[in-house]
Amino acid sequence: MKPLFDLGVLPIRHRTSRGFKPHVSLVFNAEKRLTFAVDTTNSRSQQPDAYLITHAHSDHHGKSAMLSANAVCSQETARALEILYGKEYAGRTFKTGETIDICGVDVRTYPTHHTIGSCAFYWENDVGTKILVTGDVKDAKDLPKCDCLVTEANYGDPDDPRCHFKDDIGAFREALADSEDIAFGAYAFGKAQRAVKLIRESGYSGDIGMDPVSRALTEGLMEDTGSLVDLESDCGIRITTPGELPALSAAKKFILTGRRDYKIPTINISDHMDVNGLIGMVHHCAPTAVITYHPGGHRPLKLAAHLNKTGYYARALEEINTVIEI
């Protein structure tokens, strides 16, 4: 952990009687001692100075953190959280790309292209260390160079063939062209909106049927969606969640995913980078130290191990041994 200490960054995990709270908190000095909690749940005990919510997917715990006045996220993420959970967002918002003041620290924000409103947070501490927290990333082109990178490893195992892929936009367009009665399985937040965008870009201007949550998110977050209707309407293209797709009547069905464990045919459309993209992001950002904090399982360890072999100092969340009992 010494390189992190030298950078003036102390990563901390919090543990309750039920086990570890999600993800990590970063303690640093910026004229005073501050704690920024990253994609974690709201605490009933002492509040951090900020809950950084990178995007609205459930495994990043905005459902809980959104109820704190110390929550910080993009305007689109706050809106998505309100639609998903039916609760009022209690924290601060910003437009992605803006610089915001959090407890006297200028925090810059950058798009990560994972979902609508997903963003990275970037700031400096007292010793000049540039800290970048990304959340999940689809495209790292807009991310700045940094000294301490806190990032994801969803597809971070270089030895796993499932972590090597590319989006097959061509197959998606072929599926659209070949059928007048087609249904796509896509997660309600993120993938469903991307599917609508791709369909409209293909030139289709007719009705698109969607399940209620996917439709509410798409209409609430996107412009120029065209006509969106419910799944029971008479339309040639439908989008629903992968879990609901088998029960839907359609001549052809595809799940839009990078995963390979579905029985229904899939088209490789992912909201993540593969392992080569993740490694490329690290090279692009050129950090001195890396923390892979998401998701659970072995992939953060695998990515950290690979980075260590290639000259970076890297630690996975499980390897952080600074723990506070709460």
284 secondary structure, DSSP code: H
Phi then psi for residue 268, to 5 deg, are -75, 85
In what side-by-side order are the strands of the sheet with 99-102?
99-102, 105-111, 119-124, 130-133, 148-152, 289-294, 313-316
Q: Give the pLDDT confidence of 57-99 residue by residue, as tens digits.
A: 999 999 999 999 999 999 999 999 999 999 999 999 999 999 9
Calpha distance 313→1 (Å, rounded): 9
Q: Give the pLDDT confidence of 192-232 residue by residue, as tens digits.
A: 999 999 999 999 999 999 999 999 999 999 999 999 999 99
What's the CATH code, domain 166-267?
3.40.50.12650
pTM of the model: 0.96
Domain boundaries for CATH 3.40.50.12650 within the chain: 166-267
- Secondary structure of 121-166 in the HEC alphabet? EEEECCCCCEEEECCCCCCCCCCCCCCEEEEECCCCCCCCHHHCCC
What's the CATH code, domain 2-160+273-325?
3.60.15.10
Q: Give the pLDDT confidence of 283-314 residue by residue, as tens digits.
A: 999 999 999 999 999 999 999 999 999 999 99
Q: Across residues 246-265, what is the average pLDDT?
A: 91
1 secondary structure, DSSP code: -
Residue given tokens 């087609």 in the structure block: 182
pLDDT at 228: 98
119 pLDDT tier (thresholds 50, 70, 90): very high
